[in-house]
């Protein structure tokens, strides 16, 4: 029998994890443990369309009033947190929020942030970590990836002290994302799960006009060319040289 994995995703904002929904869905189907760790609530942005159209005047006011900006953030936070929790529920994922401010995810020089993430990794003990590409343009994405990478390395160091003992994570992977130098080295078969993306995407009503996953199916098909599969999600696995190039599960 295949050993059960625990897959943990570190992501900046609710809906960013959409880059790997099919992968998460697959692990959920296999009854693996799934955790999603959001750095922020994404409380600086809402799409003022459909049922959120009344946010438009507030969004405009917020550009010049600090008070409105703060109040608005509180509203958006509740909406986006609820949406994120809905997604987590659909794939039986355990949700975590690091509660950094939107657009202000600390960088990898911030010891407090590193400690928080390292501690969490040691507590939840994932076997696989997935995150943004660390050269992505968005600062929150880039910083989330760098924090996750540094903490993944520290989590296994015996001279780095936390209350929980060291933990070795087997696979650390960056998902497919804009930004310089992304060269995938592993293609995961998600042919049976690719259509589930739509379902999960619907949970993020407040982000409607930039729905993640709109091109996901098209890309998953395009990237599968050099594999035996029809649809794949592709990754850059950190620090592994001779890998199988593709598979049903992470190596
Ligand atoms: Zn984002």
Retrieve residue 110's tokens: 């911030």
Q: How far is ligand 1, taken at its centre, from the CA of residue 141, in Å? A: 6
Which pLDDT does position 80 carry in this prediction? 94
Any domain includes 81: yes
Any domain includes 205: yes
Q: How far is ligand 1, taken at its centre, from the CA of residue 167, in Å? A: 28
**Angle made by CA atoms 235, 220, 234, in degrees to the nearest 5:** 5
Q: How far is ligand 1, taken at its centre, from the CA of residue 41, in Å? A: 10
Which pLDDT does position 143 carry in this prediction? 97
Name the E strands within the chain.
6-11, 33-38, 93-97, 128-131, 171-175, 186-189, 232-237, 246-247
Instruction: Please give the tally of structural domains in the chain.
Output: 1
For 118, the domain range is: 6-247
Per-position b or e across 35-53, b if 16+ CB within 10 A of its CB:
bbbbbbbbbbebbbeeebe
Which pLDDT does position 215 carry in this prediction? 79
Q: How far is ligand 1, taken at its centre, from the CA of residue 17, in Å? A: 9
Q: How far is ligand 1, taken at its centre, from the CA of residue 155, in Å? A: 25
Residues with CB under 5 Å of ion ligand 1 are 12-13, 16
Q: How far is ligand 1, taken at its centre, from the CA of residue 139, in Å? A: 9
Are β-strands 232-237 and 171-175 bridged in parallel, bridged antiparallel, or unpaired? antiparallel
Which pLDDT does position 212 carry in this prediction? 56
Which pLDDT does position 2 carry in this prediction? 63
Any domain includes 224: yes
Contact 109, 79 (CB under 8 A): no
Any domain includes 241: yes
Q: How far is ligand 1, taken at its centre, from the CA of residue 78, in Å? A: 17
Q: What is the mean pLDDT of each run of 10 residues along the chain (251 residues)?
A: 86 94 96 97 88 89 91 93 96 97 94 97 98 93 97 96 93 92 95 93 80 76 95 94 90 91
Phi, psi of 176, deg, nearest 5: -70, 120
Q: How far is ligand 1, taken at its centre, from the CA of residue 11, in Å? A: 8
**Plot region of 217 (φ>0 → left; ψ -120 to 50 → alpha; else → beta):** alpha
Q: How far is ligand 1, taken at its centre, from the CA of residue 249, in Å? A: 26
Any domain includes 97: yes
**What is the pTM (predicted TM-score) of this model?**
0.94
CATH assignment of the domain containing 58: 3.40.50.10320
Any domain includes 1: no
Contact 152, 196 (CB under 8 A): no
């Amino acid at each position: 029998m295949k050993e059960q994995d625990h897959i943990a995703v570190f992501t900046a904002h609710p809906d960013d994890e959409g880059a790997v929904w099919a992968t998460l869905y697959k692990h959920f189907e296999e009854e693996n443990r799934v955790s999603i760790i959001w750095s922020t609530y994404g409380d600086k942005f809402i799409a003022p369309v459909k049922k959120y159209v009344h946010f438009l005047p507030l969004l405009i006011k917020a550009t010049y009033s600090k008070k409105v900006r703060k109040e608005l953030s509180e509203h958006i936070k509740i909406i986006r947190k609820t949406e994120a929790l809905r997604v987590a529920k659909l794939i039986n994922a355990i949700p975590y929020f690091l509660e950094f401010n939107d657009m202000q995810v600390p960088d990898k020089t911030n010891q407090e942030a590193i400690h928080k993430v390292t501690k969490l990794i040691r507590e939840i003990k994932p076997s696989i970590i997935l995150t943004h590409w660390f050269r992505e343009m968005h600062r929150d994405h880039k910083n989330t990836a760098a924090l996750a990478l540094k903490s993944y390395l520290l989590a296994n160091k015996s001279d780095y002290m936390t209350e929980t003992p060291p933990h070795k994570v087997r696979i650390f992977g960056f998902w497919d994302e804009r930004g310089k130098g992304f060269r995938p080295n592993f293609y995961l078969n998600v042919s049976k799960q690719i259509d589930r993306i739509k379902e999960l995407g619907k949970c993020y009503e407040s982000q409607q006009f930039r729905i993640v996953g709109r091109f996901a199916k098209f890309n998953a098909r395009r990237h599968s060319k050099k594999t035996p599969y029809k649809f794949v999600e592709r990754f850059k696995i950190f620090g592994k040289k001779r890998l199988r190039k593709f598979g049903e599960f992470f190596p």
